[in-house]
Structure 1
Amino acid sequence: MSFFLSLLFFSFLSLSPQCYGEERKVRIIYMGKHKSGSSALSLPSHLAMLKKVLPSGVSSAETLVYSYGRSKSFKGFAARLTDEEAAKFSEMDDVVSVLPNTKLKLHTTRSWDFLGLTQNRTVGLPAERDVVVGLLDTGIWPESVSFSDFGISSAPSKWKGKCETGGTNFTCNNKIIGARYYNSENEFDPSDVKSPRDTEGHGTHTSSTAAGRPVWDASYFGLAKGVARGAVPEARIAMYKVCWLTGCWSADILAAFDDAIADGVDIISVSLGSDFPLQYFEDPIAIGSFHAMEKGILTSNSAGNSGPFPITVSNYAPWSLTVAASSTDRKFVTKVALGNGNTYIGLSINNFNMGQSVFPLIYGGQAVNVSAGSNELISSYCIDGFMNTEKVEGRLVLCNSVLGEETILNAKGLGIIMSSDDFPDVAFTFMYPALIVSTQDAKEILDYIMSTSNPIAVIEVSDEWLDALAPTVVSFSSRGPNPITPDILKPDLTAPGVDILAAWSPAASPTGFPEDERRVDFNIISGTSMSCPHVSGAAAYVKSVHPTWSPAAIKSALMTTAMPMDPRKNEDAEFAYGSGQINPVQAINPGLVFDASEKDYITFLCKQGYNTTTLRLVTGDNSTICTGIGVGKVWDLNYPSFSLSVPDGGYAYGSFYRTVTNVGLPNSTYQAIVFSPENLKISVQPSILTFSQVGEKKSFVVKVNGGKLFQQPIISACITWFDGKHSVRTPLIVYTTILPFDMSDVDSDALTSLRPNLPLARKKLRIGGN
């Protein structure tokens, strides 16, 4: 009988989908920009388009998920479609692209002082309260003291947003002036709350990092104690909840961009991204940030947490700002003291005080669960279900991996010493006393365990140490080069993203594990998700001083004033840190800026191979034309950095045309200072630029000659324009590669499997579903 049941089951699976109705999935129909004079809301036209494609009996209104267009910036819609229906839309002349509804992933007491943006520099700025920072994230906890509106007036008159409560007790105030939430798949975890309220912590953390109000004596169980604040404490916050415990859907992200643009935000902060490269108009963040740029809004993006592997940087569109993660001069270390008097130091954020006592210590390989078919090797990695829990209970355990935290907790162990060389520069929080030591130190600890019949140890409370090497780019931060446009340097710059203390949602545990019953108002976490809001806040700071500056001008100011970083401490050099670490204080007075408009980016896209028909849809302008521009190098985009990719074995020749705008002194003369290694010849013509007024523009050409190159990872150089007061620094890199990059044949799952302990990193670094 079982044979016939199996046959019936597999016969059912093999039936044509049409027998039961093909599955409908949410697809995004992106149609480019609204043409001038067209209606802001295109709901009737979208329903009409659906009606033409859908079979009779299927309701257009019921399949429609979102109708984009409220912002009058871009148009399109999201709807539940079959593969066949989606294919019909992709053939339509007025459709730029049809995108699947993919799930994207989520990628401070000390950090702002470390950057030089001390509290006295951010208080009382006249225009700060008119700046609105919009965040696409997991929501926000409005009751947090970081979002108090004490002394803040009502929202600026330009604000058009609203506060969606979701029928819960969520409320906005004069600090959080807008909140919306989106879930196109209607997919919820039992812990999710259907409102803008943050039940995960991530969005509350990023919001307070960018624009949180000062909170004195903030700490994580006494660690990192100090004043927690954002870059612009008086600026307003608008939260667009697009991420849930299950992830962040692309249709929701586009809807949030549409609303944020229409609502009147000034800066958009997006600490999330795709795991894999996408072409610009197949990427919802690139699409949304392009149309935000058209409306004068800069988007700040996280670079991703897939480092130190190369070509892993995400959010690489030239019209947005891509942020890597670096350290501050504070690090958290934890000691384990053994019974033989030896002490070993590891990284963790450990607030558990075990007192002066010592406790039994066991090696995971000594707790073999024979009944489960385990052996010493398997149990040494502390894998759940393969350990003898009676031997673990009441003991500290040494494990050969970083995956045993839940295992030891479930077995009633007292604490864990984990062995790994994969996380040398970031501390994690745990549910009980724990630390990560090097594999060499773990070997010595194991030697001690094996040398005595009664091994004992104690894990001490964490200390805060001065990190004299800071800033360095952290190992998990994604690296360049740019996977889509090798001649645009990405990431753009770096900002603190390691061990950042900021506000937290009391609905979430500090570790992210449901077994952890502790609750905190402030938490310490790491990731490019944390570095991104630092730059978003810095951009809002510049915007508050220069409210009329374009997104490109603000971006240029942040990049050209960034503090140079030491390539001896960052072997990937500019592929790790871009222009360097942000310097918000200098960014408000950069001297010169590299400005760019929509027209400049359209020329760039022409050279990327986009055709006139597509770009007319994107721009909503029938006068857009690519004829005569030609596909090729994009060296002439007015970008505040220079990147020359050379086919392996080819010649390193390049010519870059740039224009700078004087935003410094009315009468000033700038001299070009070139730093270059001997094997690279760089000339700047003219090498002197003289300005007679603010707003005046001057152009120059940079020519590069590096001869024939073979297997050259990166050659670093830079050009600095100096007038005696302002230093306008732009990095220049040359490297070899196989061009063009083609990632389509790369097995992303295989690549992921090569990255050590990535599942733990994703959980601990608050990425990807946590």
Structure 2
Amino acid sequence: MDVASGHGTHMASIAAGSFVNNVSVNGGLANGTASGMAPWAHVAIYKVCDYRACSDDAVIHAMDEAVHDDVDVISFSISQEVKTTYDRDVVAIAAYSAMEKGIPFVVCAGNQGPGASTVENDVPWMFTVGAGTVDRSMEAKLQSTTGGNPILGQYMTNRKRTQVAAGWYPVLYGEDGECRYCLSRKWKSRRFFATRWGGNPIAEAVTKYKAAAAVSIQQPGYTFDLYDYGPARPIVQVSYDERERLKGYASSPAVMASLELGDTVLGSSIPAPIVAGFSGRGPSKRSPGILKLDIMAPGVNIFAGVPDAHPYTPFDFMSGTSMATPHVSGLVALFRTLQPHWSPAAIRSAFVTTADVDT
């Protein structure tokens, strides 16, 4: 369990976290009752990573210990691209040993999508899980003086500590390579800044130039993967499809925009479930004739527990196929209480052949 990132704690919470009422993050977002998939399960945790890497030796030792402890399912949220054959892949060999003992080995598909053959952990006897979206959003609306439907986006900003700029402001648009130029030469304070330039640079720009807010445009084909950038003013993420509308706002000095940060919305306008943009895709490079990955589970903006050292304790959002994996692992644990003698292959078949079909 990594107390710095909270990755391991988040996984355990998704798989088997207890029921906790009235939880939220960032001043009330996603308020409700949280629980893992198998909230009364016992969890055995084996540390295999440090801040540098996850060594094969530690992974093999942990898997041997898990088999010795007679666990009901192994959840493995560590992605790896292995170019050797299966008989030389030490993790694949260890997973085969677990399967021989009747222990399902549930693994993440990796976050190298959306290209073809980007799936990792593609071993036939592993239960490989991709990430999908959920129908919950922290909805923001960007309205312009041109009228029409507002641009819908999502945000992770803490409304209680954020100076949400009320009123109408002009929009400045910048492409990736132009942003530093347009900020240094054309920036005027109290504007909305719309850009495909995301991450820490946009957060720093909002703070440095005292922008009213910023709109970060997602990459083409990507799903909303929210971050709390932490500046004093909000950063809203919108779909790539809204790029031309934002360009149009910026091209006319007469057009002004206003921003409204709404509440958490369920059954929202965000498409769900669809495969996350980052989720690894098949077919397998090593064995193109084998269908991989096996199944999709929620993996975008997943709300779960984090350790005390995390800045947003005790809960936070994370995204990745790592988060999708314990959803399936927890369900496998529940399923084994009903069918304790089913083989890992039979359990995987039951899940795959009864899942909803989506793309």
Amino acid of the residue matched to residue 11 of structure 2? T
The equivalent residue for 1:272 is 78
Are 2:46 and 1:240 equivalent residues in the alignment? yes
C-alpha change, 1:334 and 1:285, in structure 2 (3 Å) is farther
The equivalent residue for 1:289 is 95
Q: Answer whether contact 1:205 1:504 (CA < 8 A) is retained.
A: yes
- Match for residue 435 of structure 1 among 231, 236, 247: 236
How far apart are 1:359 and its partner, in Å?
A: 6.5
Q: Answer whether contact 1:348 1:435 (CA < 8 A) is retained.
A: yes
- Match for residue 532 of structure 1 among 322, 325, 328: 325
Are 2:9 and 1:204 equivalent residues in the alignment? yes
Instruction: Give the greater-gyration-radius structure (CA).
Output: 1
Structure 2: distance between partners of 1:348 and 1:427: 10
C-alpha change, 1:412 and 1:504, in structure 2 (3 Å) is farther
Q: Answer whether contact 2:220 2:240 (CA < 8 A) is retained.
A: no
**1:476-525, Cα deviation, whole Å (9 max, x unpaired):** 2211112222332111122122222111224234xxxxxxxxx2311122
How far apart are 1:410 and its partner, in Å?
A: 5.5
The equivalent residue for 1:229 is 35
Structure 2: distance between partners of 1:507 and 1:467: 32
Report how many aligned residue pairs link the two structures. Answer: 349
The equivalent residue for 1:305 is 111
How far apart are 1:345 and its partner, in Å?
A: 1.4
Amino acid of the residue matched to residue 235 of structure 2? A
Structure 1: distance between partners of 2:308 and 2:243: 35
Structure with greater proportional strand content: 1
Matches within 5 A, 1:751-770: none
The secondary structure found in structure 1 opposite 2:341 is coil
The equivalent residue for 1:399 is 195
The secondary structure found in structure 2 opposite 1:398 is strand
The equivalent residue for 2:133 is 327
How far apart are 1:435 and its partner, in Å?
A: 2.0
Amino acid of the residue matched to residue 279 of structure 2? S
**1:599-641, Cα deviation, whole Å (9 max, x unpaired):** xxxxxxxxxxxxxxxxxxxxxxxxxxxxxxxxxxxxxxxxxxx
Amino acid of the residue matched to residue 215 of structure 1? V
Matches within 5 A, 1:179-190: none
Are 2:245 and 1:444 equivalent residues in the alignment? yes
Amino acid of the residue matched to residue 502 of structure 1? A
The equivalent residue for 1:9 is none
**1:324-349, Cα deviation, whole Å (9 max, x unpaired):** 12233334432223455563112443
TM-score (norm 1): 0.42
Structure 2: distance between partners of 1:460 and 1:285: 46
How far apart are 1:301 and its partner, in Å?
A: 0.3
TM-score (norm 2): 0.84
Cα RMSD after superposing both structures? 3.0
Q: Answer whether contact 1:349 1:462 (CA < 8 A) is retained.
A: no
Matches within 5 A, 1:82-161: 139=1
Are 2:167 and 1:358 equivalent residues in the alignment? yes
Structure 2: distance between partners of 1:354 and 1:498: 27
Structure 2: distance between partners of 1:457 and 1:247: 45
How far apart are 1:208 and its partner, in Å?
A: 0.9
Amino acid of the residue matched to residue 426 of structure 1? F
Q: Answer whether contact 1:210 1:533 (CA < 8 A) is retained.
A: yes
The equivalent residue for 2:272 is 470
How far apart are 1:412 and its partner, in Å?
A: 5.0
Structure 2: distance between partners of 1:488 and 1:412: 52
C-alpha change, 1:326 and 1:388, in structure 2 (3 Å) is same
Greater mean alpha carbon deviation, residues 236-245 or residues 464-473: 464-473
Greater mean alpha carbon deviation, residues 546-555 or residues 347-356: 347-356
How far apart are 1:444 and its partner, in Å?
A: 3.0
- Match for residue 388 of structure 1 among 166, 180, 184: 184
Q: Answer whether contact 2:75 2:329 (CA < 8 A) is retained.
A: yes
The equivalent residue for 1:215 is 20
C-alpha change, 1:470 and 1:356, in structure 2 (3 Å) is same
**1:96-129, Cα deviation, whole Å (9 max, x unpaired):** xxxxxxxxxxxxxxxxxxxxxxxxxxxxxxxxxx
The equivalent residue for 1:758 is none
The secondary structure found in structure 2 opposite 1:247 is coil
Q: Answer whether contact 2:14 2:37 (CA < 8 A) is retained.
A: yes
Greater mean alpha carbon deviation, residues 438-447 or residues 317-326: 438-447
How far apart are 1:220 and its partner, in Å?
A: 2.1
Structure 2: distance between partners of 1:283 and 1:475: 28
Structure 1: distance between partners of 2:186 and 2:273: 45
Are 2:289 and 1:487 equivalent residues in the alignment? yes
Higher relative contact order, chain-length normalized (CA < 8 Å, sep 6+)? 2
The secondary structure found in structure 1 opposite 2:130 is strand
How far apart are 1:207 and its partner, in Å?
A: 0.6
Q: Which runs of 5+ in 2 are unaligned?
A: none
